[in-house]
Amino acid sequence: MTNKNSLTQKSMSLYPAKTKMQVTIIFFVVLGIYIFSMYKTQEQMVGGFSGALGNMYVVIEKFFPPNFAILSAIWNSMLETIKMAIIATSIAGILTVPLAVLSAQNITTFKPLYYLTRTLLNLLRTIPDLVLAVIFVGLFGVGIFPGILALTVFSLGILAKLISETIESVDMNPLEAMRASGGNVFQVIWYSLVPQVAPQFTSLVLYVFEINIRASVVLGMVGAGGIGLVLNQQLKFYNYPNAMTIIIVIFATVLIIEFISNKLREALL
Amino acid sequence: MIEFKNVGLVYPNGTEGLKNINVKINDGEFVVIVGLSGAGKSTFIRSINRLVTPTSGSLLVDSEDILTYKGKNLRKLRTKVGMIFQNYNLVKRTNVFKNVLAGRLGHTGTLRSIFNLYSKEDKALAYGNLNRVNIAEKLYNRADELSGGQQQRVSIARVLTQKPKYILADEPVASLDPPTSHQVMTYLRKINKEDNITTIVNLHFIDMAMEYADRIIGMRAGEVVFDGPVSEVTEKTFEEIYGRSIREDDLRGGAQE
Ligand SMILES: Nc1ncnc2c1ncn2[C@@H]1O[C@H](COP(=O)(O)OP(=O)(O)OP(=O)(O)O)[C@@H](O)[C@H]1O
Ligand SMILES: [Mg+2]
């Protein structure tokens, strides 16, 4: 009785006091880290910008005009990069299906299995793509194969995570209906889960494909094949006009692919 | 026949969903379960197809205790016991025909169902059932293009395609307006009589229970507090089940004359 009275008198808060306290503490800790890191970077950036402006002129002078005579020669490497991205995205797209299902809490109700796949995927995602490439190049030598492997592992980490989150947000009602009509696990998934995630799945695979095109350029620079490898060679020989042509080709390719993939994704959702 | 023998169910959080239930439901009956929100109606119905599992007693369906069922046995039970839901539970992005054919899942091999290799008979059955609930013209519409009443009819066609011996319906009309509610209940009743499918429906509208049921089971706080033919039921009975006087919102209204 007295308890009730004191609650109404104090004008009840929307959140429990404990939650409020926790949120406040987290807020100040984050703010503190933010201010500290701003201060530290400022110290190191002294003179950074003015120096960069001066360098800019030198760089532009060296890189221009680009040497378009090599266009036909680099075309193959560009195609190789695109192929790497396509193969890696496809393999990852297939492998991601079981992994995403197993790491979705609403489908994999057997907790140990769920935690196992979750942890595996988290580990996978902590390894940067560049490190993967260096490892695979070390193992298999310079070429397109280690590049594909690195990209596959890299995109598997992202895809499985994003797709398992899509799976966790589906409407569970139709799944219950399929289970109630005697369907087995595969039938339940195929009939009521797949239709719900298919558009998102395709859209995410296309998105990862875009990322892979860009990533494969970078990976090429550490020996994983494709246009990145050629770019790296030209830069090493100080052949800046050639390098510039390659950069322009990459730029154009990425733009075109992003445009196509964006149009496809718009049509899907 | 369905028989509850001293059935109890305690949820993992300690809530007692069912307390010592003893009920026998005969073949061909149309039973309506009534009770306030939280009385245990859904728990009762969902025990029969093991969407929830009672923690004590035994539950016999066709004289076999289903509480021990796992895997294949469980799926077989579920092909025999069809279910209709308050929110229709159709796959919204899939067309009506495929939704109805999903009723065959329990009878179809995994590969056949994944590649849509349904037999001519299955397709004819699905189409025939859509006709029975007068919605065959929506065959290739996506489920989310239909109204609530139409979706519930599709879900009835789906459950019929399963060729069940029992139909469970958990608040099948709670999301529908009065005329549509009566339409859906009329279909359920008609199917019960024509195909002799034992039907158990959860409702919280008193007038609808009285209009469609053969027999009414009243629940309160996980217990069966009334069980008898509809002829024995009066307003007083409902007041006892609900533990309060009857109000306007306990009635759906709009009965078809
Ligand atoms: N999964 C669950 N976990 C824990 N408790 C539950 C669960 N499902 C139901 N309950 C509890 O069991 C009791 C009976 O619930 P049930 O859903 O069977 O009631 P109901 O009669 O169907 O009510 P309504 O008319 O609101 O649908 C309630 O107290 C409810 O809170
Ligand atoms: Mg309920």
Residue extents of the structural domains in chain B: 2-249
Q: Is residue B257 packed enough to be buried (19+ CB in 10 Å), middle (13-18) or exposed (0-12)? A: exposed
Give residue A264's pLDDT: 84
Nearest CA in chain A to B94: A195
Percent of chain A with pLDDT over 70: 92
User: Within a domain: residue A242?
Assistant: yes
pLDDT for A129 beyond 60: yes
pLDDT for A1 beyond 50: no
Closest to A204 (Cα-Cα) out of A168, A171, A162, A232 = A162
Q: Is residue B95 packed enough to be buried (19+ CB in 10 Å), middle (13-18) or exposed (0-12)? A: middle
Give residue A89's pLDDT: 93
Which span out of A10-14, A55-59, A117-121, A127-131 was modeled with the highest average pLDDT?
Answer: A117-121
Separation of A107 CA from ligand 1 center, angstroms?
Answer: 22
User: Please, what is the average pLDDT of chain B?
Assistant: 92
Residue carrying the six token digits 């990209």: A151
The parent domain of residue A138 ranges over 73-268
Give residue A46's pLDDT: 57
Percent of chain A with pLDDT over 90: 29
Range A13-16, long-range pairs (CB < 8 A, 24+ positions): none
Q: Structural domain tally of chain A?
A: 1
User: Within a domain: residue A55?
Assistant: no
- Please give the number of the atom of ligand 1 that sits closest to the Cα of B171: 27
B113 interaction partners in chain A (CB closer than 8 Å): 183, 187, 190-191
- Are A231 and A244 a contacting pair, CB within 8 Å? no
Q: Please tell me the least confidently modeled range out of A42-56, B62-76, B129-143.
A: A42-56
pLDDT for B154 beyond 60: yes
Q: What is the pLDDT of residues B162-220, one digit of tens each?
A: 999 999 999 999 989 898 999 999 999 999 999 999 999 999 888 999 999 999 999 99
B48 phi and psi angles, rounded to 5 deg: -70, -30
Question: Region A30-59: what's the mean pLDDT?
Answer: 74
User: Within a domain: residue A13?
Assistant: no
Assign A102 a pLDDT band (cuts: 50, 70, 90): very high
Contact B107 A190 (CB under 8 A): no
Give residue A44's pLDDT: 65
Question: Region A35-64: what's the mean pLDDT?
Answer: 72
pLDDT for B257 beyond 50: no
Does residue A176 sit in helix, strand or coil? helix
Contact B102 A183 (CB under 8 A): yes
User: Within a domain: residue A6?
Assistant: no
User: Within a domain: residue A184?
Assistant: yes
- Are A204 and A163 a contacting pair, CB within 8 Å? yes
Where residue A242 sits, what CATH number does that domain have?
1.10.3720.10
Separation of B17 CA from ligand 1 center, angstroms?
Answer: 6
- B2-249 homologous superfamily: P-loop containing nucleotide triphosphate hydrolases (3.40.50.300)
Q: Is B41 touching ligand 1 by the criterion CB < 6 Å?
A: yes
Question: Region B96-122: what's the mean pLDDT?
Answer: 90
